Amino acid sequence: MNITMRNEQPNDYCHMEEIAREAFWNLYFPGCHEHYVVHQMRNHPDFISELSFVVEVDGQVVGGIYYTNSAIVQPDGSEVRTITFGPVCILPKYHRMGLGRRIITHSIEKAKEMGYRGILTLGYPYHYIPYGFVGGKRYGISMEDGKFYTGLLALPLYDGAFDGVSGWAKFSTALDSIQETVDEFDSTFPSKEKAVTPSQVEFEKAVSQLDATEY
């Protein structure tokens, strides 16, 4: 199996939107919006094309990762620049082959080379702890409501990157979506059935869980 990674190109766009749809369909809620987010973020000023990669297996694109600018808004209103990845998607038939790990690791190393301070992301801790992420609480980084959730994770990209920094995580509006707009976009794809799944119940619990860790 020959695995390669490269920056996404325009001729990948439609295929990657299809992959995102397959990867996230019914995962967090009935249907998904990640394929629409991928579609809209490419033209957003926060999009970081240099850090957006696809992974190929034997010459076929089977997944990708996307980055946008984000920030930590400090108590005085000043913003400390960070970056955020997501969506990260791999075609389901290629799951558990280490492709997600490889493309995440590849992008993190590129972000370090480019001199970025740190990465903020939202997700399940067990997915991202292996890469060095810890709860945002460790660095005094909360959500906008001032609460520290287990799903808000931070990774400094050099020693002391978050020293003297605290505040709330501000994510790009490139990640926002309106259901009506998503539905309209989704209508251009082959029909898929929306369903309620156990993973959605797990997700609902996870997004409200507060970080009780003593760092």
* Cα-only R_g, the chain: 17
pLDDT band at residue 41 under the 50/70/90 scheme:
very high
Query: Which residue type sits at 115?
Result: G
105 CB contacts (<8 Å, ≥6 apart)?
131
Given this model, what pLDDT does residue 81 score? Answer: 98
Task: Please give, one letter per residue, the 3-state secondary structure of 46-115.
Answer: CECHHHCEEEEECCEEEEEEEEEEEEEECCCCCEEEEEEEEEEEECHHHCCCCHHHHHHHHHHHHHHHCC
Give the CA distances from residue 105 to residues 87, 108, 170, in Å, rounded to whole numbers and listed in that order: 15, 5, 23
What percentage of the chain reaches a pLDDT higher than 70?
100
Total Cβ atoms within 10 A of residue 214: 5
Give the CA distances from residue 49 to residues 66, 67, 147, 158, 166, in Å, rounded to whole numbers and listed in that order: 8, 7, 31, 22, 27
Query: Which residue type sits at 191?
Result: S
Given this model, what pLDDT does residue 156 score? Answer: 98
User: Using CA atoms in the order 15, 116, 120, 143, what is the torsion angle rounded to 10 degrees?
Assistant: -130
pLDDT tens for 101-111 read 999 999 999 99
pLDDT band at residue 60 under the 50/70/90 scheme:
very high
Q: Would the pLDDT of 192 be above 90?
A: yes
Domains of the chain: 3-207 (3.40.630.30)
Q: What is the mean pLDDT of the segment spanning 177-194?
A: 96
Given this model, what pLDDT does residue 207 score? Answer: 87
Q: What's the whole-model pTM score?
A: 0.95
d(CA 35, CA 16) in angstroms, rounded, equals 8
Q: Which two tokens stand for residue 114?
A: 């480019």
